[in-house]
Structures are given as structure tokens and as C-alpha cells.
Structure 1
Amino acid sequence: MTDTQRSLRRPLLGAALSAAALGLCGLSPNLLAAGKRRVSVREEEIEPGRYRDNAQTRAFIDEMVTRHGFDRGTLESWFGQAVYSATVARLILPPTTPGRKSWRAYRSRFIEPIRINAGVRFWQENRDTLRRAEAEFGVPASVIVGIIGVETIYGRDMGTFRVIDSLSTLAFDYPSTPNRDARTTLFRNQLADYLLWCRDTRTDVFSVLGSYAGAIGIPQFMPTSLREYAVDYDGNGRIDLRNSPADAIGSVGRFLQLHGWEANRPVVWRLAADEGSRGIAAAAADGEPWPTRTLNQLTRAGLKLDEPVDLVREGETGVLVVDLPTPDQPTEYMIGLRNFYVLTRYNRSFFYALAVYQLGEAVKAAMG
């Protein structure tokens, strides 16, 4: 039996973090969507040598040589050492019996004492960097802290899969699903950007660990976002999202700024509790993450806010209805503004965007 025919098991050091639909990753960046699921994995099932002499790999190598000037021998050596991960292929699939979406259950996973206390420590340890990023990018420190807390608990859970293996598996052996072609294209693009980034930064392609979907570092950037938005914010001459909280903070701030963050503007407005306002919100909730209406359109229909909002000045503000269902409970609603939409560029899920905002606010309150 050759090594290309032998399936092996390789220990993993911790829990793997998931990424399901194309949230920020839009691939806006991160490749994490409707809600991250956390999967405990103690060992990884792999198949060495699968990409050493593989038709898909050869075609990909041809393209990288032609389009990007890579050395063919180098690429052949890399893919000869990359492995197929059956664990990655299994984890990327949606749950076989998906449960009903529950905002309250989702929120409880992120707005909780362990994550809030870790956020306080992270803010205290990086206070000056957060203040600088807030001034430079216009993004509140609380929002940056919220994203990093939801993504990896401030660097605690960054993933333990070799990125070259994860992306090779998903680029060349994506499981059979209705959207397989689109996802294969997506991950081939991510693989190309990963190799380009490694070449440009002189990074060992086998040294980078990440989530099973290939997200990297404290803020879980996919390679495309890493190349487009990551910054050397600690000034040491290199970008290191896995070990540098400063680089992570600056990169998140820059990502949000370049996606249209509006400084000194709200993220959401609370809805009044009356049945009329709830009914209007329910009728206007279309699931779209971008502002599709003006505040005037909703208030003229009778919707009321539980906020001291200047309705004259804000009347033409673009808004969206954020619906937050919980099984066997009345659906909750909020009014999202432009900055809520920008958070969905990191991850398209309404649950995710609001959890980020509320975690950041909870950490800020705990700071005193």
C-alpha cells in the first residue's frame, strides 16, 4: 500500500472553528456565515500524497505558473506534501439535521461571562492600540473587541488545521453539495491568494494554521482578505494575525473602514414594544443585509422607536429591519443602519452582526 492510498489520523491540538456561508468573506473576508458552529475534533483523518499527481492540481499549477509566474517545481513540491483532510471535508458540510434558528440560544454563546471577562483583559492589554485604531479608522474600540471576541475569544481558538491542507481539500475535493461548483471556485481563489501571500511575505506554506475553512489568525481572515485588508499595525515589518494583537486590531479596523463604516454613527436602533411597531417590522423584514428603506417609510407607516432619535434629521437615513427569531417565542426586531450592514460584510448573518455589537457593548460596560 502506498502513502497515496493510506488514510492516516493526525492529532489536533484543540477545537476547530467553522465557517459556513460566505459572510464577510464575500467573499467579503472571513468565510464565516449564518452562524459559526464549534466542533470538537481530537484527531484529523488525512490522506498523504493525494495531490502529488492529480489532474486538478496540475491544472491549478499551470494556471499559477502562467498567471502569477510561480516556479512549477516549487508548486509541485508543495502539493506533493499537502494532504487531503477527510475531517475538513466532513466539517465543511452543513448539519445533516439543521435545527431551527434561535437568536436567544445564539446570543447566549457569545454574550456570557467568560467571553466578556476575556474581552476586558484584551481591551486593558491593548488599550493604546485600540484607541489608535479608533482614531485612524473611525471604528469604535468596542466593535473591534466584539469581532475578535466572537471570532476566536481573543486568540484562544484560532484553529489547528494546516491552511495548505484545508484549502487544497476544499479546492480540489469539495464534497458533493448543490453549490459545489461555486464553493470549489471560491476555495481555489482562496488557495491562490494564500500561495501568493506566502510568496510575497516569504512565509512557509506549511507553517500557517487556521480553521478548517482556511480562516487565519486572531480575526479569522480568509487569504483574500488577508491580502487586501491586513496591516502591519505593530510596525515590526511583517503582518502576523496569529501572534500580534496589534496587527489583528488594525486589520479589523481597516476592513470595516474600507467596507463603508460611518464614524460616530449608530449600529442599530431599538424598536418600541407596541404590537403595531412589531407588525410593521415583521412586514418589512426581507432578510436583506443592506438598507432597503428609509426611516421615514417605516415611521410614516406607524413604526415607533425606543430611542431618542431626531426623526426629522434622520428621516432619509437608510435602514433595514433585523429579524431575530427564537422558536416558540415572539420574534425580536431591531432597526439596522449602515454600520450594521458593514458588520454583515464580515459575516452575513444578522445573528453574528448583532452578537458582535452586543458583545462589544457588554465588554465596554464591564470596563467601567
Structure 2
Amino acid sequence: MTGQYALPAAQRRRLAVRAFHLALYVGAAVSWQGACAQDATPATPAPQVAPAQSPQAASPGGTFEEEIIPQRYADNADVNAFIDDMVARYDFDATALHALFAGVSYSATAVKLVTPAATPFPKNWRTYRARFTDPVRINAGVRFWRENRATLQRAYQQFGVPPEIIVGIIGVETMYGRYMGNFRVLDALTTLAFDYPNTPNRADREMTFRKNLEDYLVWTRDAQLDPSTVLGSYTGAIGIPQFLPSSIVKYAVDYEGNKHIDLRASPADAIASVANYLKENGWENGRPVVWHIAQDTGSLGVAQAAADGMPEPHWPLAQLLRAGMMLDQPGIDMTAEAGTPVTVIDLPTPAQPTQYMLGLQNFYVLTRYNRSFFYALAVYELGQRVKARVDEETASAAPTSTQTPIAAPAPMQAVVPNQPTPAAAAPAAPHPAQTLQSPSQPPQPQPQQPPQQPQ
């Protein structure tokens, strides 16, 4: 509304939220804050990929020192029962396993790092994003893309995951292999499997880490690796993509064809393993990751009320539109997308208005790698920034380039890309009222554009 009869902004916001409640048939007690996904405790064991760790804890040449207690697990009743199970199920040598665990140390540092802070720090999206999209990381991503261009294209062809997504994950996880962790994986997994800190989810977490310890011993035996020498993160994640052992067993790929998977030293194996992980967890080739919400008061009010912290897409887009939300996303075919499930992403920053976006299936798949809205969006934004730089390089070299571009794999369904192609000027974003028609009028389909070609 405009002019002298316009309602105050606060009142318009309250009315928008009330309309949302009626439209979605929700109860009166809807939380205005909404839990962020990074705080949600999963009902099932966490995905088998460890969180990105701090460079200090992972730096191979830094001064960080792990606090350990040697020989904590020699003749430990729980460990002895675990050994008996490994012997019975996988035909391990009992004497060898007892000798191995006699040399395992308790990692007090790992326990401290997985223990939640007594007073949680306020969530700060702007600080988090700045940490993972800084110029140093972007430059490293451009170099990684340039050095592994053929492998990234090959993985795109085979798995349908764009290079920028793979580059974003590897950049956030280890800054392209720079920070892979210097904890002994055997110490970390054993500590967290048998001495996880006393938290509400302790039983589930110990079960998860015992499964990873089991898979770690089987994997190192089959790969003929010494289990006492492999290094990784404080949660036992390994290599360039920071895979936990259970993910190595299930998703890791030998992309060099040498019958050996090396996630620490082979970028090709890391690239294909990340792509395979995302594909197997439901990545949709050619589909967007996020949609942008219009910044008017009504749209933000609906977003605030619908932000429930659930990473799984569960709101039909049409339902949010009927409640009064509008999108700032040119080119969407509203008729085709009306039934598309989305989740509302909330990105709080202290003393700043909370930002909101809509996450689609591919955003949810990124949270399967790490159950955090901040993490998933940082991966996406880092990948987009690296891709923009690579596209600039490719465009500037195009007149003299003799390379034959590799065609992108055919998308599973017709879609509109997230961004315009670098060679074309970006179309001006229409006013939200033009992007979304009134629910009383049938939406007019927008013209489709060809999928963006990766460089």
C-alpha cells in the first residue's frame, strides 16, 4: 500500500503473518524465531561427512598440539567386546586387534571439540560467509578448478553435479587439501566411539562412531593401510573431501583407475567421490539450489513464520505464495513450479535483519553433507564466486582458445538456471508483483532458457 492511507510497516507485517497462519492452517502458537538447521539435532545419526574444521586444528605444519592420554584402551571391557565382534563378523585376528588398541590414545582434544559450548555463541551468517568466501579461498578455488578442469567436467558428465558445487564443498572442507587434519584417525574414532561426552545425543553419536571405527578397520585392512598412521580431523574424517570411513566405504570412487582410492593425495578421487555422494543422496541435475525471496514486508513476514529449521523441503511453493510471499527470482514458471517443495532458510546476524531464502532439493542434499544452513549456503556461494572468476578467464581466452567445449549432461527436467550465462547480460529483475501474479489470476508461464554450460 502507498499514500496517506498506508498502514504502518509493523502492522502490515502482523497482518501478513496472520494471513500466513490462516492460509497454511497452522495453530496460533507459531514460533517467530524458528530454529536454524545448524542447531537442530537430527533424529537419525548425522551424515557420514564430518564438519569443516578450523585451520588451526587441521594445519599440517602449525603449532597445534593434541592433548592425549596414552594406552587408555588397553584391556578395556567395551573395546574387548568390540574386538570380539570384529573377529566374529569380519574374521580379524584377535591378537592383532588387541595389540592395535593397546596403542590407542584417548584424545581429550577431540572430546573438547565435539562438546557443545555451555553458552552458545550467537549465530552470525555474515561472519561465517566472510570466512569461507574470502579472496584467498576463492583464488585457491580458481587454481583448483584450472588444474582439474577435465576431471570436473568428466564428473559432471557422469554424476550430473556441476563443477562449482564440488569446488565449493572441497573449498569449505579443506581449502582444496590445505587443511586435512593432523589427528590420528584411530585415536579420534576410538575416543568418540567409547568416550563421547555426556550430551543428549550421546548414545546415537557413540553408535555412529563405532560404525565408523568398524568401517575404518575393514577399509584399512582391505586397502593394505596401517590403521595407526592415517591422519584426519578430530572426528576421524579423512582427506580432501573429509569423508568419514563409512562414507569412504559407501561412496568413495577410484577415478584414476589405479585400483586404489586415495582421498588425501588424489584430487581426481576426491572430486568423483564428492559427486557420487551428492548424486546418491538425491542431487537433481540441472535444478536450482535456492530461490530468492522478495524483500517486501509481507514476504519477509511469511518467511519468518515458515522458517522452522527443517532442512527437508516440505512447503509447497504455491502454499507460500497464497500466504502472501513473493519471489525475486526472474524466469520461474509458476505453473510448473507450483507444487515444488521448498524449505525456508533463515540466516541470522546479530543486530541485523535476518536474511531469508528458499531452499530446494539440491540445497537439502548439501545439508546431507553437513546439517547446517550456514554450511550449505557457504558451499553454494563459494562455488558461484569461483565459477564467476573461471568464466571470466574462459571468456577472455575464448578468441584464441582451441579447446573443444564439453557439453553438459542433459538435465532430468527442463529448468531455469540460477544465473544468466556470463556471455549474456543479466535480465533486469521484474518487480515482485510482476514475478508472482495474484492467486485469483492464473500465473503466466515464463519463457524457458537453456541450462547454463559449465566452463
TM-score normalised by structure 1 residue count: 0.90
Separation (CA, whole Å) in 1 of partners of 2:67 and 2:381? 37
Separation (CA, whole Å) in 2 of partners of 1:345 and 1:181? 21
Separation (CA, whole Å) in 1 of partners of 2:148 and 2:256? 11
Separation (CA, whole Å) in 2 of partners of 1:31 and 1:159? 11
Aligned length: 347
Matched AA of 2:150 = D
Separation (CA, whole Å) in 2 of partners of 1:261 and 1:181? 30
Separation (CA, whole Å) in 2 of partners of 1:121 and 1:26? 35
Matched AA of 1:324 = L
Q: Deviations over 1:122-172 (max 9, x none)?
A: 000000000000111100000000000000000000000110011111112
Moved over 4 A (4+): 19-23, 35-41
Q: Deviations over 1:198-223 (max 9, x none)?
A: 11211110121000110100000011
> Is the contact made by 1:22 and 1:348 (CA closer than 8 Å) also made in structure 2?
no
SS at match of 1:330: strand
Question: 353, 358, 361: which is aligned to 2:376?
Answer: 353
Matched AA of 2:352 = Q
Change (3 A) 1:119 1:21: farther
> Is the contact made by 1:116 and 1:362 (CA closer than 8 Å) also made in structure 2?
yes
Change (3 A) 1:202 1:21: farther
Change (3 A) 1:121 1:346: same
Matches within 5 A, 1:1-368: 26-32=45-51, 36-37=53-54, 39-40=56-57, 42-308=64-330, 309-367=332-390, 368=392
Deviates more, 1:271-280 or 1:118-127: 271-280
> Is the contact made by 2:281 and 2:365 (CA closer than 8 Å) also made in structure 1?
yes
Deviates more, 1:237-246 or 1:36-45: 36-45
> Is the contact made by 1:22 and 1:31 (CA closer than 8 Å) also made in structure 2?
no
Q: Deviations over 1:252-272 (max 9, x none)?
A: 000000011000110001111
> Is the contact made by 1:285 and 1:323 (CA closer than 8 Å) also made in structure 2?
yes
Separation (CA, whole Å) in 1 of partners of 2:203 and 2:315? 34
Separation (CA, whole Å) in 2 of partners of 1:179 and 1:172? 14
Unpaired segments ≥5 residues, structure 1? 1-18
Separation (CA, whole Å) in 2 of partners of 1:203 and 1:85? 22
SS at match of 2:192: helix
Q: Deviations over 1:309-363 (max 9, x none)?
A: 1111111111111111111111100011110011010011000000000000000
Q: What is the deviation of 1:225?
A: 0.5
Q: What is the deviation of 1:22?
A: 8.1
Change (3 A) 1:243 1:253: same
Q: What is the deviation of 1:39?
A: 4.6
Deviates more, 1:58-67 or 1:356-365: 58-67
SS at match of 2:117: coil
Separation (CA, whole Å) in 2 of partners of 1:70 and 1:290? 40
Taking only the aligned residue pairs, the percentage that are identical comes to 59
> Is the contact made by 2:142 and 2:389 (CA closer than 8 Å) also made in structure 1?
yes
Q: CA RMSD in A?
A: 1.8
> Is the contact made by 1:324 and 1:351 (CA closer than 8 Å) also made in structure 2?
yes
Deviates more, 1:72-81 or 1:39-48: 39-48
Matched AA of 2:334 = L
SS at match of 1:43: coil
SS at match of 1:154: coil
Change (3 A) 1:366 1:213: same
Separation (CA, whole Å) in 2 of partners of 1:22 and 1:346? 15
> Is the contact made by 1:20 and 1:94 (CA closer than 8 Å) also made in structure 2?
no
> Is the contact made by 2:347 and 2:354 (CA closer than 8 Å) also made in structure 1?
yes
Unpaired segments ≥5 residues, structure 2? 1-37, 58-62, 393-455
SS at match of 2:334: coil
